[in-house]
Structure 1
Amino acid sequence: MRFSALKVLTQGLTGNRGWRAHWRDPEPAEAYDIVIIGGGGHGLSTAYYLAKEHGLRRIAVLEKGYIGGGNIGRNTTIVRANYFLPGNSEFYSHSLKLWEGLEADLNYNVMHSQRGQIGLFHSDGQRDAAIRRANSIRNQGDDAELLSVAQLRKMVPYLDYDQGRFPIYGGLLQRRAGTARHDAVAWGYARGADQLGVDLIQNCEVTGIDIAQGVVQGVQTSRGAIRAKKVAMVVAGRSSQVAAMAGMRLPIESHVLQAFVTEGLKPCIDHVISFGM
């Protein structure tokens, strides 16, 4: 089933009775070539690109809950390529290009809206840092514009520019940045992976990893044992816990990150604003 404007219109006029489930709900097979633990955005995209770009088909994604119900459903929505450090800047530059073609690739609306993003600076030192960042971004091949207070007032008149503690000195604008719905991204990748033959196994918690002579043989789950030639862990903040099942101690810690991100509601908010670069 492909989405189109005509399809949406006809379904709306006929009570939306013709839509089918976006992906199958299969029972786990006894064995797969690849098992991916974690049905979030990264796990689903890994399955999708393994199938699409590398032609692999005997793949299963195991999700403890339901697709799009984990960290992906609570993620921030800013899409941008305005990072400064080497490694980060290249990664996000490539990522932004993927975002710009993602909906066409998946034939799915992930609500990607390139409304731009402005990072505010509040001191001379932050302005100098923003100039260095802008030069780095443009050298990377992406867009960046320094905005004066006068330019900002025209674009975002509702900000308090003169409040005493954090006066606004200007901003760094990336027009190609924007927002997306990350749970919709998970659903789009799930739909695409399913169409390529990937089994998406929901409500399937991994409880153990089977290893023989140092080689992974498969996983134990709440829905039985599943053999696999390769097992991938894509579980975000649960990485240390799942790795421990394989006898590995990862040199990382998970920390809660809380952020306030404006949700763009046209025409009320035309730009995403982040405070304190």
Structure 2
Amino acid sequence: MHKKPIKYSVFSLFKNALSYHENWQPVWRSPAPKTEYDAIIIGGGGHGLTTAYYLAKNHGLTKIAVVEKGWIGGGNTGRNTTIIRSNYLWDQSARLYDHALKLWEGMSQELNFNVMFSQRGVMNVAHNLHDVRELKRRWHANRLNDIDCEWLNTKQVKEFCPIINTSPNIRYPVLGATLQRRAGTARHDAVAWGYARGADAMGVDIIQNCEVTGINVQNGNVTGIETTKGRINSNRIGVVAAGHSSVIANMVGIRLPIESRPLQALVSEPVKPILDTVVM
């Protein structure tokens, strides 16, 4: 049994200020791996930690290990555009992301950890007739799926985002845009930290700097993993390693129909926003 995490609040902030913030307890433990677990999650990013958190919260599994070859949130979780939205074209994507958006809306309260989710809206701008047709197609698909989405004409775009140049004489004129007001941005590494804290509070072991080097199989069933910190046994293994998942699955001869491709994006440390919305 380990200590329950303190509740973050203005009162705990004031109390710790009296000791110059030197007595905050660690956000999560750094335990040595046990020899056996009910389940092992490979990948300590947002999805892996979320999987462990909900296995513990909703399904009563607490003897869980999350193994991460680097540090928590140091992979794709900390290297993305931070945009949160659900106005996708295809039905499956729209429903999945809208469910996720609803989780985002209550995440900071549930985790007692500020993930800096700001519903400042996401605007997709059309610059030519093809863009207009494609964005209106998505707009109508969103309406059919009961997902909030609006079509703005050029004047409305300017009213919503005054800094944007809507002159008809520029190289890429603004012919309109879709707008999802519930969408916005978040700090994804804070999401990893929040779910790590929540999972740890329910007894999940988070093991960093622990690379998986093999998966043990006996009579067609997994029995555990080999890592740089030794063997860890379990008959349930979840592979949540983003683009590296196909490499992990290949350790047991499973070829996932997934190809990893690089996506270039400039992501900085959080800075004070210049725009009051996201423009894409």
Which bracket does the TM-score occupy, shorter chain normalised?
Answer: over 0.9
Aligned partner of residue 234 in structure 2, secondary structure = strand
- Deviation of 1:126 after TM superposition, in Å, equals 2.1
Correspondence 1:63-78 to 2 at 5 A: 63-78=68-83
CA contact (8 A) 2:72 2:192 kept: yes
Give the conservation status (yes or no) of the 8 Å contact 2:121–2:184.
Answer: yes
Alignment correspondent of 2:233: 227
Residue by residue over 1:54-86, the C-alpha shift from the partner in whole angstroms, topping out at 9 and shown as x without a partner, is: 111110000001111111111221111101112
Paired position in structure 2 for 1:99: 104
Retained in 2: the 8 A contact 1:47–1:61?
A: yes
Output the CA distance in 2 between the equivalents of 1:73 and 1:209: 27
Q: 1:239 aligns with which of 219, 240, 245?
A: 245
Out of 158, 161, 168, the residue aligned to residue 163 of structure 2 is: 158
Query: 1:264–1:270: 8 Å Cα contact kept in structure 2?
Result: no
What TM-score comes out, normalization by structure 1 length? Answer: 0.93
Partner in structure 2 of residue 167 of structure 1: 173
Change (3 A) 1:237 1:203: same
The 1:166–1:51 alpha-carbon spacing in structure 2 relative to 1, beyond 3 Å, is same
Matches within 5 A, 1:123-134: 123-134=128-139
1:196 is the counterpart of 2:202: yes
CA-CA distance at 1:124 after TM superposition = 2.5
After the TM superposition, which residues 197-216 of structure 1 pair with which residues of structure 2 at under 5 Å, given as runs? 197-216=203-222
Q: Is the 8 A contact 2:41 2:66 kept in 1?
A: yes
Distance 1:153 1:84, change over 3 A: same
1:200-254 C-alpha deviation (Å, 9 max, x unpaired): 0111111111011111010000000011011111111111211121122222211
> Percent of aligned positions with the same letter in both sequences?
51
Distance of 1:151 and 1:88 partners within structure 2: 28
**Aligned residues: CA RMSD:** 1.8
CA distance in 2, matches of 1:160, 1:13: 49
Matched residues in 1 for 2:36 and 2:271: separation?
46
219-228 vs 158-167, greater mean Cα deviation? 158-167
**How far, CA to CA, are the matches of 2:60 and 2:211 in structure 1?**
27
> Relative to 1, partners in 2 of residues 1:9 and 1:134: Cα closer, same or farther, differing over 3 Å?
farther
Alignment of 1:38-77 (within 5 A): 38-77=43-82
Displacement of 1:125 after TM fit? 3.0
Equivalents in 2 of 1:141, 1:95: separation in Å?
Answer: 15
Q: Which secondary structure does the structure 1 equivalent of 2:38 belong to?
A: strand
In structure 2, the residue matched to 1:82 is: 87
Asked if structure 2 preserves the Cα contact closer than 8 Å seen for 1:134 and 1:145, the reply is yes
Q: Which amino acid is the alignment partner of residue 274 of structure 2?
A: C
Partner of 1:135: 140
Aligned-residue offset at 1:267:
5.9
Structure 1 residues not aligned, in runs of 5+: none
Distance 1:267 1:180 in 2: 12
Q: Is the Cα contact below 8 Å between 1:111 and 1:181 reproduced in 2?
A: yes
SS at match of 2:151: strand
TM-score by length of 2: 0.92
Q: Residues 21-42 of structure 1: CA distance to partner in whole angstroms, max 9, x if unpaired?
A: 0111111000001011110111
| Structure 2 spans left out of the alignment, 5+ residues | 1-5
Instruction: Quote the offset at 1:94 in angstroms.
Output: 0.8
Whether the aligned pair in 2 keeps the contact of 1:93 and 1:140 (CA below 8 Å) is: no
* 8 Å contact from structure 1 (residues 36, 60) kept in 2: yes
Contact 1:264 1:272 in 2 (8 A): no
Aligned length: 274
